[in-house]
Amino acid sequence: MTIKLKLTQEQYATLVRMVYLGNWMVNSSRMEEERVKKYDDVDQHVLSFASAAKAGNLVEYDNESKKYFPAFELEMEDEAEQYRRDFEDDVFWEELTQQLARRDLIRQYGEAAVKKMKFGELLEKENVFVEKYDDEFVENGIENLELKTANAR
């Protein structure tokens, strides 16, 4: 089954940005052989309409690889780049906070006890550490983070 979409030029340009950001999130950290093909396929299909949509400034075609790529203008534009930076920033702080909170929870209660906790209890106890790190990072960012070497313990 084929579905036809009618888009304005502005909607198409927005779709190109969405596909770029979505495929970047899924595939940018993967090696070529690990890429998720279905996302690359949709990316290529959507980008292939750039010329017809008069959005050639957002897409480039490489004759050698026979693939479409986001144009430098798209990769560097403020809108798409800001969304990408916002996403990376959110993921960084969330993951850092969660990892440190889980580490401290295990240090305080022991791994065996944490594994036995019911979900509600786990969240409640872990949230104490999450809030501590959230407050710290909002106030100081990474300024107070330091690594201890094994010899310094």
**Domain range annotation of the chain:** 9-76, 78-141
Pairing label, strands 59-62, 67-70? antiparallel
Q: Examine the pLDDT at 76 and tell me if it is beyond 90.
A: no
Question: Residue 64: helix, strand or coil by DSSP?
Answer: coil
Residues 6+ apart with CB under 8 A from 39: 22, 23, 26, 27
- Which residue is listed with tokens 């993951």? 95
Are 23 and 16 within 8 A, CB to CB? Answer: no
Q: What single DSSP character describes residue 78?
A: H
Confidence of residue 72 (pLDDT cuts 50, 70, 90): confident
Residues 6+ apart with CB under 8 A from 144: 136
Average pLDDT, the chain: 91
Confidence of residue 137 (pLDDT cuts 50, 70, 90): very high
pLDDT at 74: 74
Q: Examine the pLDDT at 152 and tell me if it is beyond 70.
A: no
Q: Which residue has the higher pLDDT, 96 or 70?
A: 96
Q: CA 58 to CA 79: how far, in whole Å?
A: 13
Neighbours of 75 (CB within 10 A): 14
pLDDT at 57: 85
Nearest CA to 132 out of 108, 97, 107, 105 is that of 97
Q: What is the pTM of this model?
A: 0.73
